[in-house]
Amino acid sequence: MIGFLKLLSRNRLSLAGLVVIIAVIFVALVTPLLPLPDPDVIDTKNRFKTPFNTDAILGTDHLGRDLMSRLLWGTRLSLAVGFCAAFLAALIGSSIGIISGFYGKHVDNILMRGIDMLMAFPYILLALAIVAALGPGLFNALIAVAIVNIPFFARNIRGVTVGITHKEFIDAARLSGMTDTRIIITEVLPNVFPVIVIAMSTTVGWMILETAGLSFLGLGSQPPQADLGSMLGEARAALITSPYTSVVPGAMILIIVMAINLLGDGIRDALDPRLKSGVLSSPRPRTLVADYSKTKNLDASELLSVSNLKTQFHIGNRNYKAVDGVSIYAKKGACLGIIGESGSGKSVTALSIMGLVSSPPGIITEGYVNYKGIDLIQTNDQKLRSLRGGKISYIFQDPLSSLHPLYTVQQQLEEAILAHQNLSKEEVYQKCIELLKSVRIPNPKQRAKDYPHQLSGGMRQRVSIAMALANDPEVIIADEPTTALDVTVQAQILSLLRELTSQRGLAIIFITHDFGVVSQICDEVAVMYAGKIVEYGPSEMILNHPAHPYTSKLMGCVPEIGKGKRKLASIDGLPPMVDKLDQGCAFAPRCQSTISECLTNDIKLRDVNRNMKVRCIKPETHL
């Protein structure tokens, strides 16, 4: 609750809305205790008294009734009706939504067609028709307003529930033997509840307005009972001669509705977890870059090199140093591996190259990325866009989420080609089939017509690779492209990438957490730990003689065929959080050969020999 209020208070306007609405509710609650005259007593002698002149602070209306008293009693009634209508609509609408989304099929069809029927009528006409059928009166107006708002809740909540019902945790709940009712109450409801609250907070305001509208037309509260709408309705005749009789209830409606809407906005921001982490707040087309001194002369003969790259995530007052001074070099026709445990900063390094780290919270605070003499971090958006998916392309881990589910393979490949090349329809099609052939997809013409879900995992990843090859790239960055695949398919994909590297003279930056994969495909390898490179050199050398204790531990985790029975090693402890790194070596707490210097000194990446670098004062090999 405190956390929620804290989040809410980030939005000043919402906080103001909260204060106002609490004040209004408080006044409405204590109205019966206040020394006010009876709101319904007619006193024709004192008609249309202006405010602040007599006992009646806000003046009197056309029947001489005290406006202050009528306003407070009216507000009380309007608030009560508005909130009740919102609650009723939310309760019934959400129940329909959850049941329809959870059970699907016929249940969904029947319920949703019913809702569609309600939605087929114009909103206010439907409310009028319902009140006309039930007869005028505040209670009937409440029911009418609730009914016309049911579809809004039902539709919204159904959508969310459908998404949740297919999640694994629901299957797990089913497997554990829970009944449907229990699953709905304990698994589905808590997940849709924030959406219900958000929908409610944004609709209470409307409902108060709608009830006021019905009362204004004489269909809601009946004389002499006052609510804000009926007060406005009665004041209509005297709008010119005694405008204050309309202004008083009008201003109250404005204040209440505005306060509720502002508060609703704040609640939505605070409850939506995606908005909370700032991910959706303002997505940028490229990663933010801090202002730092730039290197002017880059070597144009290099294909792609990254120098002293630092990428951080600034969340609240925390500063996560996800990548902290990484330098790597991709060479033509060779594969560079980046290896490390999960969370060591491999993906962030790869994404930083093309400014793909999400900002906020990501920010590049130092370094440069040299692509043939151009600094990709500083270059303009247009240049960067022409390179993305063109000369430098990506392959991601999960092809099911990187391929669009609603387009065929052919459509997606053609889209990728046309983004960078100007070809005729026939040429694009030919190129598309060629690409599918080059990644060894059997029967490419047929497969091109398939949707991603019709292909197996290995086939899908081949399609992703074909997409990455679409514009004859010079560099491919592959972020764990085989992790989601089984071992035999992994071997096929690796040999395919290997072949493409040598045939096309590609440079591949291959991210993995598996030394087995490194040995199959990489010429060089950079080992990352807590955002830093701890060892860098030819993979052959590192595989045979790892110098950093972390590297040798990682290698100990890989099973080897033909080496007899041995216990698979694991590394005790966890990688450190990158927002509060201590001085010294980040691996020291998990290392067996730690000495006191490891904890205090700043340890530099240094040469072990001509080709190999290591960040350790007591490396395990000295070749």
Residues that bind ligand ADP (CB under 6 A): 313, 320, 322, 340, 342-348, 358, 361, 578
CA distance 385 to 387: 5
Q: Which is nearer to ligand ADP, 185 or 577 (CB)?
A: 577
Instruction: Report what 420 binds from ligand ADP, Mg ion, none; CB cut-off 5-8 Å by kind.
Output: none
SS3 522: coil
Diameter of the chain by CA atoms?
A: 110
Please report, as a single letter, which amino acid is at residue 421: Q
β-pair partners for 524? 336, 538
Q: Which is nearer to ligand ADP, 286 or 346 (CB)?
A: 346
Closest distance to Mg ion from the beta carbon of 513 (Å): 8
Instruction: Report what 386 binds from Mg ion, ligand ADP, none; CB cut-off 5-8 Å by kind.
Output: none
Residues in the chain: 623
Say how many Å lie between the first and final Cα of the chain, rounded.
Answer: 60
Q: Tokens in use for 186? A: 């304990």
Q: Which is nearer to Mg ion, 230 or 347 (CB)?
A: 347
Instruction: Confirm or reject binding of residue 347 to Mg ion (CB under 5 A).
Output: yes
Q: Which is nearer to ligand ADP, 313 or 510 (CB)?
A: 313
Q: Which is nearer to ligand ADP, 343 or 589 (CB)?
A: 343
Half-sphere exposure of 437 (CA within 13 A, CB side): 7
Instruction: Report what 390 binds from Mg ion, ligand ADP, none; CB cut-off 5-8 Å by kind.
Output: none
CA distance 138 to 229: 11
Pick out residues in 46-85 that bind Mg ion (CB under 5 A).
none
CA distance 171 to 176: 9
Q: What string of DSSP letters covers 170-215?
A: HHHHHHTT--HHHHIIIIIHHHHHHHHHHHHHHHHHHHHHHHHHHH
Please report, as a single letter, which amino acid is at residue 616: C
Closest distance to Mg ion from the beta carbon of 102 (Å): 34
Closest distance to ligand ADP from the beta carbon of 358 (Å): 5
Residue 326 parent element (H or E): strand 318-330
CA distance 392 to 15: 47
Q: Which is nearer to ligand ADP, 116 or 582 (CB)?
A: 582
Q: Which stretch binds Mg ion (CB under 5 A): 21-29, 97-105, 340-348, 614-622?
A: 340-348
The torsion region of residue 318 among left (phi > 0), alpha (psi -120 to 50) and beta comes to beta
Q: What string of DSSP letters covers 24-48?
A: HHHHHHHGGGS----TT---GGGTT
Instruction: Report what 320 binds from Mg ion, ligand ADP, none; CB cut-off 5-8 Å by kind.
Output: ligand ADP
Closest distance to ligand ADP from the beta carbon of 487 (Å): 21
Instruction: Report what 344 binds from Mg ion, ligand ADP, none; CB cut-off 5-8 Å by kind.
Output: ligand ADP
Instruction: Report what 361 binds from Mg ion, ligand ADP, none; CB cut-off 5-8 Å by kind.
Output: ligand ADP
Instruction: Report what 358 binds from ligand ADP, Mg ion, none; CB cut-off 5-8 Å by kind.
Output: ligand ADP
Closest distance to Mg ion from the beta carbon of 479 (Å): 6
Closest distance to Mg ion from the beta carbon of 398 (Å): 11
Q: Which is nearer to ligand ADP, 244 or 313 (CB)?
A: 313
Contact string 530-559 vs Mg ion (x = CB under 5 A):
------------------------------
Q: Cβ atoms within 10 A of the Cβ of 540, count?
A: 14
Nearest 5 degrees, angle CA 23-CA 26-CA 27?
90
Half-sphere exposure of 81 (CA within 13 A, CB side): 31
Closest distance to ligand ADP from the beta carbon of 582 (Å): 16
Closest distance to ligand ADP from the beta carbon of 346 (Å): 4
Size of the site for Mg ion (CB under 5 A): 1
Closest distance to ligand ADP from the beta carbon of 561 (Å): 27
3-state helix, strand, coil in the chain (%, to 5): 50, 15, 35
Q: Which residue in the shown chain puts its C-beta closest to ligand ADP?
A: 347
Q: Which stretch binds Mg ion (CB under 5 A): 23-31, 132-140, 344-352, 432-440?
A: 344-352
Residue 308 parent element (H or E): strand 304-315
Closest distance to ligand ADP from the beta carbon of 96 (Å): 37
Q: Which stretch binds Mg ion (CB under 5 A): 136-144, 204-212, 304-312, 339-347?
A: 339-347
Residue keyed to tokens 């790259």: 309
List of residues contacting Mg ion (CB under 5 A): 347
